[in-house]
């Protein structure tokens, strides 16, 4: 009986392991991601507020034409250093659909700080129809949805037209674009969205393609995990506490056993 149980368990573990492996193989991008440094990487890393603000500017001026961020509200922007008045002004530039009103009709109004970044399309079908049949996904949690998400977004944005990992030239059907970093095959329906000097940064930073890609990746990382810094600080506190507790227990043990000698 026990023998059978062990065998069943072993088989179950093997199957789980295999399917996880297969899922990783299918989900992993074809080409190894580019080596890019973010201030928020590592156990003590924090977001670079200036980079995240620049990244928001890129999202606002470029990406928001196609991608919504339905889990980020304008008022969250105060967490990356915008003042309440700035947030009000940013929100007012957008129009959101609200309602129904007393006549049962939906109506448009300027966005308020409590509104979320809207999708630019009224529904997924319209989004797909305007983008060669593939709806641009919501970007709120994108850096969490892809392994190594910040480096992934950076590599994707700067990796158009590159050769594959073995150095082979890649080709794609009409309406899709070569990108060896894309998770599902190397042909992506998003046209290269950024280029050098596409935006003019409010803080005067030179807007190279690589700078733009890295800033918008940092912004997306913040959007997906705004509480990361608190999580890391808590980790450090827990470790310090455990060290303190270990010392205390060691001294207590010595004292108690010391009496027996």
When the beta carbons of 93 and 98 are compared against ligand HEC, the nearer one is 93
Of the candidate residues 188, 207, 218, 224, the single one contacting ligand HEC (CB under 6 A): 188
Q: Which two tokens stand for residue 214?
A: 């890295």
Cβ at position 28, least distance to ligand HEC in Å? 12
Cβ at position 173, least distance to ligand HEC in Å? 12
Q: How far apart are CA 66 and CA 68, in angstroms?
A: 7
Query: To 10 degrees, the CA torsion angle through 121, 123, 126, 130?
Result: 40
On the 0-12 / 13-18 / 19+ scale of CB atoms within 10 A, 180 is buried
Task: Tell me which residues in 206-235 interact with ligand HEC (CB under 6 A).
Answer: 216
Residue 66 binds ligand HEC (CB under 6 A): yes
In a 13 Å sphere around the CA of 228, the CA atoms on its Cβ side amount to 22
Return the DSSP state at 78. Answer: G
Of the candidate residues 10, 12, 13, 65, the single one contacting ligand HEC (CB under 6 A): 65
Residue 63 binds ligand HEC (CB under 6 A): yes
On the 0-12 / 13-18 / 19+ scale of CB atoms within 10 A, 122 is exposed
Q: How far apart are CA 96 and CA 70, in angstroms?
A: 12
| Segment interacting with ligand HEC, rule: CB under 6 A, options 78-86, 158-166, 185-193, 226-234 | 185-193
Q: CA torsion sign, 116 to 55 to 172 to 168?
A: negative
Q: Which two tokens stand for residue 84?
A: 């309440």
Cβ at position 139, least distance to ligand HEC in Å? 6
Of the candidate residues 136, 207, 211, 224, the single one contacting ligand HEC (CB under 6 A): 136
Cβ at position 83, least distance to ligand HEC in Å? 25
Cβ at position 210, least distance to ligand HEC in Å? 13
Binding site for ligand HEC (CB under 6 A): 58, 62-63, 65-67, 131, 134, 136-137, 142, 146, 153, 156-157, 183, 188-190, 193-194, 216
């Amino acid at each position: 009986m026990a023998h059978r149980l062990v065998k069943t368990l072993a088989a179950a573990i093997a199957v789980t392991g295999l399917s996880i492996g297969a899922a990783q193989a299918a989900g992993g991008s074809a080409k190894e991601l580019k080596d890019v440094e973010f201030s928020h990487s590592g156990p003590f890393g924090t977001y670079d507020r200036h980079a995240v603000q620049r990244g928001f500017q890129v999202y606002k001026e470029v990406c928001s034409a196609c991608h919504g961020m339905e889990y980020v509200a304008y008022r969250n922007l105060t967490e990356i250093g915008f003042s309440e008045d700035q947030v009000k002004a940013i929100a007012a530039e957008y129009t959101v659909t609200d309602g129904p009103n007393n006549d049962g009709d939906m109506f448009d109004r300027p966005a308020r700080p409590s509104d979320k970044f809207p999708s630019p399309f009224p529904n997924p079908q319209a989004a797909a129809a305007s983008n060669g049949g593939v709806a641009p996904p919501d970007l709120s949690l994108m850096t969490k949805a892809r392994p190594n998400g910040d480096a992934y977004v950076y590599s994707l944005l700067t990796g158009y037209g590159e050769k594959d990992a073995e150095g082979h030239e890649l080709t794609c059907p009409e309406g899709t674009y070569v990108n060896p970093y894309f998770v599902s095959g190397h042909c992506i329906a998003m046209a290269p969205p950024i280029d050098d000097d596409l935006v003019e940064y409010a803080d005067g930073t030179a807007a190279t393609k690589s700078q733009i890609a890295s800033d918008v990746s940092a912004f997306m990382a913040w959007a997906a995990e705004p509480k990361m810094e608190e999580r890391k600080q808590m980790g450090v506190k827990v470790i310090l506490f455990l060290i303190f507790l270990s010392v205390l227990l060691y001294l207590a043990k010595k004292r108690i056993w010391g009496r027996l000698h």
